[in-house]
Structure 1
Amino acid sequence: MKRIIGMKRLGHMLWTLALAGTVLLTGCGSAEQKQPAAGQDSGQTAQKRIVKHELGETEITGDPKRVVALEYSFVDGLWELGVTPVGIAQEKDKDVEGLIGQKIEYIPVGTRQQPSLEVISSLQPDLIIGDLNRHKDIYKDLQKIAPTIILKSRNSTYQENLSSFATIAEALNKQKEAEQRLIKHKEIIAEFKKRVPAGDSRNVMLGVFRADSLSAHGAKSFDGELLEMIGIKNAIQDVAEPTVKISLEQMVQWDPDVIFLAEADDALLNEWKQNPLWNNITAVKNQEVHKVNRDLWTRYRGLKSAERIVEEAVNLLYSKEK
C-alpha cells in the first residue's frame, strides 16, 4: 500500500515539474518573439513617421541630428528645441548671431534665395527645412539629398510661424519640448499684453524704406498680426498681402499714429522729410516715429524674435519714462 502511495506522489511531482518546464519554455518563446530580426533596428523602425508639410508628406526615420535650415525662423525653431543646425542659409555673417543672441558653429550653405545644393549635400544632412516662398522650385532636388520639409516663413503670418514650429518639432520627434516652449511663449506674450492699455486707439505702421517706395507691413504680416494680438492696432487693414509698397501720398492717406521705421535706404526718407506732406502725418506731428532693427522686425521671425518684437514695441509705446 505504501509503495502504491509513493508511486502516486512521484508521478504527481514529475507532472508538476513537466508543467513548470512547459510554462518556462513558453515564456522564453514569447520573449524571443519580441526581439527584432538580425540586422533590424527596432528603435529606428518604431520611429519611422510621415510628416505633413506645405508640399506634401515626407517620411522621416529616427531623431534627425544633422539639420540644414534654409530660413532664419527655422534656425530659431531648431535652437529653441535644442538642435544646432549643421548648415544655414544666410546673407550676412552676423545674421545668425543676431537671431539667437550668440555665436554657434555651422556651415553657410549660400543665401536664402539661392542655397547651394552642392554644399548642402556635402554636409550629409538627415533633414532639410526649406521655405515655401523661396524653395518650392528646388524641393525635389533637396529631397534627393535628404528628407525635406517645406514650411511657411517668408511673407507668413505669426500663426503660420507657430504652425511651422510645431511641424519642425514633429520632424525632430520633439513634440513634448515644443509644447513646453509654446506654453512659455504664450505666457511671455500675455505678460506684455497686460501692459497695453485697453483704451489706446492709436494705430501703427511698420515701414521699410526702399530706393523708390516704402514697404509697409499690414495687419496680415508676421509683426502686424503679432502686435494686433496684444492690442496694438495696425494702420493697414483689409489688405490681403502681408506687405504693400506705398508712396508718400498713400502714407498720408493711411495716416498712422505711430511709425516703426526699420533701418533701410535713407535717401528716400530724407527726400520725404523735405516734402510738406511728411509733416502732415500724425505720427510725425506727435514725434511718434521710432527706429527699429530691420533684421529683427522683418527678417528673423520665430518664437524668440516675436517675444523681442513685442517687448520692444511695448517699451517704445508705453514706457513709464515717456
Structure 2
Amino acid sequence: MYKKIGTLIIASLMILTIAICGCTESTGGTTVTNEEITTITVVDAAGRTVEVPQNPEKIIALSCALREVVYLQSQDKVVGIEFREAAKKTDGTFPSGLELPYLAAYPELMNLTVVNAGNTVNVEEIAKLQPDVIFVGTSGAGSAEDIQAKTGIPVVIVYVATVGTEAQNEKYYETLELMGKVLGKEDRAEELISIFEEYETDLANRVADISNEEKPTVYVAGRPYMGVHGLDGTDPHWPAFELLNANNVASEVSDVSEGISVNKEQVLEWDPEYIFVSESSMNLINEDLNDPAYRGLSAVQNGNVYGVLPYCWYSFNKETGIANAYFVGKTIYPEQFSDINVEEKADEIYEKFLGKPVYSIMESQFPGYTELTNN
C-alpha cells in the first residue's frame, strides 16, 4: 500500500541567483546586506510552479502542514503557528496543544506567534515574521495565491490530508519529497517513506496467513470530520484497518479514506464484532454506548469496544495511524502480535517520526489504548 514513488517535484532543477542590491534590512536581529539568494523552482501539489529560496531559514506552515515540517526535522525553522496549535484553550470538542503529537514532542512551538484565526489568515502578522517560504495544506489551497500576493512570500501547496488507499499514499509521498526538496531535507523525506514501507511490510507479513473467513468484522467509530462524532462517524478505509487488511464493515461505502456518517440502523445491521473508538469523541461515544439499541451490538455485548488515539485530529497524525494498527492487530490477532507491547511500539513509532517518545503525553490527554466497554 505504501508504495514508494519517484519525486513529482519536477523541481525544474533551475537554480536561479537573485542579487539583493543596495538595501540593508533588519529582521529580528538578522541583517541581510547585498546578499545573493539561491532559489529553486518546484511544482506544488496544486500544479503551481513556485520559486523558493534554497534551504530557507524561516518558514510558516498553514492548513495543518506543520506536522510534516516536524516529520522532516525542520521545526527549528518555524516562526509562526496556527491558533489550534497554541496551548489548549478549548472544551475538548476541537483539537489543540498537547493533544497533537508533534506539539507534545516540541511544546515550545506552542509559544510562537499565532498567524490565523479560524479560516482567516493574518497576512500582516505573517509579513512581520518574514518567513522565507509558507507551506499551505490542500484544504487551504484557495487562499494560497492571495497570501502570496499580499505578502510577497512564496507559498507552496502540499498534500497533508489522509492516507489509506494507494492513490492517497502516493500523493502524500509526493508531498514529503516536495517539502524535503524545499527544506533541504531530501534524505529525511526518503527515510520517512522507507519508515512507512517498513511498518507496512511488517504489519502485512503478520496477517498474511489469515484467511478472509478467519477475520473478524471491525468498525471505527467517533472518527472526526467537521467536528467530533459518535458511533455514526466512521472511515471506510481507516489506515489502521488498511494496514492490516482487516474486514472493515464500512469498506464498500467509499473508495477512499474519509470521514463519513452512517445512520444507526446501518451500524446495527453491520453489527461489527469489534469497535475501535477515536478517543477525541469520547463524550458522544459514551452517550451512544448508553443507548439501548447500541448496547445490543455484539461488540458491546462481548466487551470488544476499544479506545485508540486520534488519527484524525487537526488533520491526520500518520504516525498515530501506524501505532493504532499495532494495537488493533494485537487486539484482534493476539497470536500474530504476541511479541508486541503496544505502548512501547507506539513510542518507537513516535521516535521515528517525531524524534521523541510521546505516548505517555498522549495518554495524559486521552484514555490511551484500552478496553472501553466496562469503563
TM-score (norm 1): 0.72
Deviations 1:196-237 (A, max 9, x none): 362341232222175787221111xxxx14531332232212
Aligned: 1:140 with 2:155: no
Structure 1 CA distance, aligned partners of 2:280 and 2:324? Answer: 18
Give 1:150's aligned amino acid: I
Deviations 1:58-91 (A, max 9, x none): 111211221111244x323212222112222142
Which of residues 248, 252, 255 is equivalent to 1:238?
252
1:224-303 to structure 2, matched below 5 A, reads: 224-240=238-254, 242-264=258-280, 268-294=284-310, 296-303=311-318
Match of 2:59 in 1: 67
Give the superposition deviation at 1:253: 2.2
Distance 1:184 1:43, change over 3 A: farther
Deviations 1:25-79 (A, max 9, x none): xxxxxxxxxxx9997999844x42223322522111211221111244x323212
Give the superposition deviation at 1:298: 4.1
Deviations 1:281-319 (A, max 9, x none): 23223321111233x444452543333333333344345
Match of 2:8 in 1: none
Give the superposition deviation at 1:161: 2.9
Give the superposition deviation at 1:102: 3.4
Give 1:65's aligned amino acid: E
Structure 1 CA distance, aligned partners of 2:196 and 2:247? Answer: 21
Structure 2 CA distance, aligned partners of 1:280 and 1:68? Answer: 49
Aligned: 1:53 with 2:45: yes
Q: Which moved more, 1:47-56 or 1:251-260?
A: 47-56
Contact 1:185–1:303 under 8 Å retained in 2 = no
Distance 1:152 1:102, change over 3 A: same
Task: Provide the secondary structure at the position in 2 that maps to 1:53.
Answer: coil
Which of residues 123, 134, 137 is equivalent to 1:131?
137
Structure 1 CA distance, aligned partners of 2:36 and 2:275? Answer: 54
| Cα-Cα RMSD | 3.4
Aligned: 1:304 with 2:304: no
Unaligned runs of 5+ in 1: 1-35
Aligned: 1:78 with 2:69: yes
Give 1:129's aligned amino acid: F
Give the superposition deviation at 1:260: 1.4
Contact 1:204–1:233 under 8 Å retained in 2 = yes
Match of 1:87 in 2: 80
Contact 1:109–1:116 under 8 Å retained in 2 = yes
Give the superposition deviation at 1:155: 5.4
Contact 2:221–2:278 under 8 Å retained in 1 = yes
Task: Provide the secondary structure at the position in 2 that maps to 1:256.
Answer: coil
Contact 2:309–2:320 under 8 Å retained in 1 = no
Structure with max Cα Rg: 1
Deviations 1:237-285 (A, max 9, x none): 2333612112221211232222111235556544433444213323223
Structure 1 CA distance, aligned partners of 2:252 and 2:218? Answer: 15
Unaligned runs of 5+ in 2: 1-16, 22-33, 89-95, 342-370
Which of residues 103, 121, 130 is equivalent to 2:127?
121
Task: Provide the secondary structure at the position in 1 that maps to 2:108.
Answer: coil
Match of 1:202 in 2: 216
Distance 1:205 1:302, change over 3 A: same
Structure 2 CA distance, aligned partners of 1:173 and 1:201? Answer: 44
Contact 1:64–1:172 under 8 Å retained in 2 = yes
Match of 1:103 in 2: 107
Between the two proteins, what is the percent identity of the paired residues? 19
Give the superposition deviation at 1:147: 0.9
Which of residues 189, 197, 202 is equivalent to 1:191?
202
Structure 2 CA distance, aligned partners of 1:169 and 1:120? Answer: 22
Contact 2:45–2:159 under 8 Å retained in 1 = no
Contact 1:88–1:108 under 8 Å retained in 2 = yes
